[in-house]
A and B are shown apart, each in its own frame.
Chain A
């Protein structure tokens, strides 16, 4: 009897929707109710500082090379002690797709993504962030990492004083 089966199918459907009628809506009413995004949520990009308070960014251009939409631009400069920094650093958030490739590419953990996603603006030009807008005072996700303690040999510390570095070998002493 296909007709009985059909009627049973109809009633099953009606029963399903009846149950859903009394279920709590899944809607989050955004401006009033806000959910906390997970800590690794990819939203607003920041430039972090190392634990000593110096800028982490060494203006290596890896983030702007990795960026698929070319929204990162910068100009590298060099301090008196030979340490590199960004003279200016600009992210055009109206182009950014928040893919996170810049943060992945960064060798110094300088550029990082934060869960702050509320960045609507009426004027497009307000979405262009300069270095002073991007730079934060904290260390971001890697609180104790300092690039120049691991690398930058001969510039910020003498040879053999890096953290994972062994003292230089006296090549003449190895001669047979």
Chain B
């Protein structure tokens, strides 16, 4: 059927996909819980602790609530686009995880199994492409709602995501130059001696700022600014369609955390603990950082956002690429 693959390979692949899918969706649901708890502690509250022990069943209750809500569509909304947009924001986020290596390769029944759904030789480019596709969810969701707040939110979202994708892509160029590969497993392997964050602290900082903007999180949450736009591009959505947007957002946090770990923090590598534990720790650390930041920082003004993206991040990223290339040339690595 597929040349070079036998049935067992395909079975292993399907099992891997199912596992990754289940773990990511559960983690995304629990990230909401973790976020609410941590935000509560930051604000000297307790956070949700009613449903189940320590409130641990809260995500389940939320899911039941979202599923049983009325599926509402505002008058004059474009029916098909309106129904399509939540999926367009959630699916690319999940697809991105396909290229992330989340553990050291293991050997099962005598055959090597990489803990990665697909070891693409252009994994980094796939990630950049999928994160661009995720923009459509925001754009179409806001456009199809036929509501001024949703439209304003999606316009902001579009310009923000496109601007910050540039600096995100540019900040990854030095990583590729150092690892000399677009393959994510090669990038992880290239960091076995020293994490790239040591060589590239500036690129790491730029990437971190850009992915916070890509997640549409505070301080870059202009597309869904509650205080100005009700809920921005998903104002008109209710029930599980709103839930899909939300899920996409939290899966995005996990995926981008995983990518930050892969590109700069050595991926699954680390001393003493098993590789998968290291990877989860890095992802959860990133998620905690986002939550912590949400509990601290105010929202940027629109012009400040554009100023930061175009006049600060992109020039810095370009200079960083030049300096990295110069150093590599001096070392004779090219």
Contacts and interface: CB of A to CB of B under 8 A. Distances in A.
Interface stretch (A23-31, A44-52, A66-74, A158-166): A23-31
B202 to A, nearest CB: 14
Interface stretch (B36-44, B99-107, B124-132, B231-239): B36-44
Contacts of B38: 21
Contacts of A20: 41-44
A13 B46 contact: no
A125 interface: no
A25 B40 contact: yes
A27 B296 contact: no
A18 B38 CA distance: 10
B44 A17 contact: no
Interface residues of A, number: 15
A22 B43 CA distance: 10
B311 interface: no
Contacts of B42: 17, 20-21
A155 interface: no
Given A18-B292, A21-B38, A21-B41, A29 B46 contact: yes
A17 B292 contact: yes
A11 to B, nearest CB: 10
Interface in A1-59: 10, 13-14, 16-18, 20-27, 29
The contact size tier of chain B is: 10 to 19
A13 to B, nearest CB: 5
A13 B41 contact: no
A27 B45 contact: yes
A22 B297 CA distance: 19
Contacts of B41: 20-23, 25
Q: Which has the most chain B C-beta neighbours within 10 Å: A16, A17, A20, A25?
A: A17
Contact of B292 (A14, A24, A26, A29): A14
A17 B46 contact: no
Contacts of B43: 20
A17 B40 contact: no
A23 B295 CA distance: 14
6 contacts: A13-B296, A17-B296, A18-B292, A20-B41, A20-B42, A25-B46
7 A-B pairs closest in CB distance = A17-B296, A25-B46, A13-B296, A27-B46, A17-B42, A17-B295, A26-B44
Interface of B: 38, 40-46, 292-293, 295-297
Interface of A: 10, 13-14, 16-18, 20-27, 29
Given A17-B296, A23-B44, A27-B44, 12 more contacts: A14-B292, A14-B296, A18-B292, A20-B41, A20-B42, A20-B44, A21-B42, A21-B292, A23-B41, A25-B40, A25-B41, A26-B45
